[in-house]
């Protein structure tokens, strides 16, 4: 890759220091990684919609299905700190990213060949493990483009393409099932976006072997430990994670309460992913202008989704799912943008991994609490979810004044 001449001055850039070649190279890199995310999410999100019933068709009990899903999600977050730390220590960001994607993209199509539920369970958990491996290193490389394009915009673009894939994948599988193809055919069809993921990833690696050369900004000074703002931010986002209901629980409520007809439940999820894609772009721009205040404003809105989803009728439920999708956009885009501005480049993969691990543990604990509350009282669930999101707002406001 040709390193942009940083001595050329661009009068349109702040301070006249950014160059058009550097900005163009950074944008191409972000788009390539975004396309990788799009095909990847098309693959694994398409599979997630049918792994539960597929396990059931192989003889797994409801407890086994829940245990496999919960274990996969927990490992998918808990291992991120390990792989993020390894990426920073070794500097091998591309190899770690590539192996993570390879594990994911191989595991999903192989489900078509699984003849027993333990084999399928191993593949499902392996897919989550691959996601844990590649995320911190990938995000650390992506962060090098933020000096040219803006932190919010970079992560917003990637998340918008990611969410687009997450919307299309389940629809592809739904079409396969509608044509009576069966679960195995659905997994086999997902081999196509899986291969495209690896092809585009290889192209991005070849074109940008050293993403750090894209970083034209001044790095943050090294320091022992992470800044106080990081820990306060993690505490606030941890409360939001614990308050956020998984879509399977929302879908379960729609079915149990007969609010949304069964065929429309996955379509509503696709709509939430479309909302996430569009919101990620808008929120990215807003973050670059307003910073953490963007997260605060979005949280005030997302605190409205529990009563809409769990206490309202069909119309309120649709609005609630749209607001839920907005919150997912915040968690997957501007949250990473905020962390990027807190930590130096040589420690970002570790910081991303640690943040994701803490966020995931809180999400897992909150999911258990929300499930238990739902069985006891839907109103209690709503109060719990709204209260935790509102409690996070003071912590997010403090982040702006702490270093």
The model's pLDDT over 133-191, given as tens digits with 9 standing for 90+, comes to 999 999 999 999 888 888 889 998 998 999 899 889 988 988 888 888 888 999 999 99
What's the pLDDT score for residue 370? 86
Q: Say if CB 143 and CB 348 are below 8 A apart.
A: yes
Q: Say if CB 187 and CB 47 are below 8 A apart.
A: yes
What's the pLDDT score for residue 239? 95
Assess whether pLDDT exceeds 70 at residue 48. Answer: yes
pLDDT band per the 50, 70, 90 thresholds, residue 89: very high
Distance of alpha carbon 295 from its chain centroid, rounded? 16
Q: How far apart are CA 65 and CA 67, in angstroms?
A: 5
- DSSP, residue by residue, 291-331: TTHHHHHHHHHHTTHHHHHHHS-HHHHHHHHHHHHHHHHHH
User: How many helical (H) and strand (E) elements, i.e. helices and strands, does the chain have?
Assistant: 18, 0
Q: Say if CB 155 and CB 142 are below 8 A apart.
A: yes
What's the pLDDT score for residue 221? 54
The DSSP symbol for 180 reads T
Assess whether pLDDT exceeds 70 at residue 86. Answer: yes
Mean predicted lDDT score pLDDT of the chain = 86
Residue range 299-309: mean pLDDT, rounded: 94
Alpha-carbon Rg of the chain, whole angstroms? 21
């Amino acid at each position: 890759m040709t390193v942009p001449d940083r001595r050329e001055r661009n009068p349109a850039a702040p301070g006249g220091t950014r160059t058009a070649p550097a900005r163009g190279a950074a944008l191409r890199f972000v788009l390539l990684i975004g396309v990788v995310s799009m095909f990847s999410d098309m693959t694994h999100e398409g599979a997630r919609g049918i792994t539960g019933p597929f396990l059931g068709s192989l003889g797994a009990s409801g407890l086994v299905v829940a245990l496999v899903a919960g274990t996969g999600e927990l490992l998918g977050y808990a291992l991120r700190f390990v792989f993020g730390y390894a990426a920073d220590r070794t500097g091998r960001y591309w190899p770690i990213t590539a192996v993570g994607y390879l594990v994911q993209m191989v595991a999903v199509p192989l489900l078509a060949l699984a003849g027993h539920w333990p084999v399928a369970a191993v593949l499902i958990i392996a897919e989550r493990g691959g996601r844990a491996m590649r995320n911190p290193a990938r995000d650390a490389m992506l962060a090098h483009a933020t000096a040219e394009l803006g932190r919010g915009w970079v992560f917003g673009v990637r998340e918008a393409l990611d969410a687009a894939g997450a919307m299309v994948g389940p629809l592809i599988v739904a079409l396969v099932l509608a044509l009576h193809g069966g679960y195995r055919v659905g997994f086999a069809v997902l081999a196509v976006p899986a291969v495209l993921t690896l092809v585009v990833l290889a192209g991005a690696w070849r074109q940008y072997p050293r993403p750090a050369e894209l970083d034209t900004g001044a790095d943050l000074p090294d320091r022992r430990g992470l800044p106080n703002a990081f820990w306060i931010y993690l505490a606030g986002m941890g409360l939001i994670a614990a308050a956020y209901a998984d879509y399977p629980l929302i879908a379960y409520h729609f079915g149990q309460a007969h609010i949304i007809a069964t065929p429309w439940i996955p379509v509503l999820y696709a709509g939430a992913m479309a909302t996430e894609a569009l919101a990620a772009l808008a929120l990215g721009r807003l973050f670059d202008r307003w910073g953490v205040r963007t997260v605060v404003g979005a949280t005030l809105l997302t605190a409205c989704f529990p009563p809409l989803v769990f206490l309202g009728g069909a119309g309120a439920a649709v609005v609630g799912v749209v607001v839920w999708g907005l919150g997912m956009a915040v968690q997957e885009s501007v949250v990473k943008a905020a962390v990027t501005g807190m930590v130096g480049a040589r420690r970002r993969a570790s910081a991303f991994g640690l943040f994701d691990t803490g966020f995931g543990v809180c999400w897992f604990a909150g999911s258990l609490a929300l499930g238990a509350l739902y069985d006891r009282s839907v109103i209690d669930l709503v109060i719990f979810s709204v209260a935790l999101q509102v409690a996070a707002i003071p912590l997010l406001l403090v982040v702006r004044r702490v270093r």
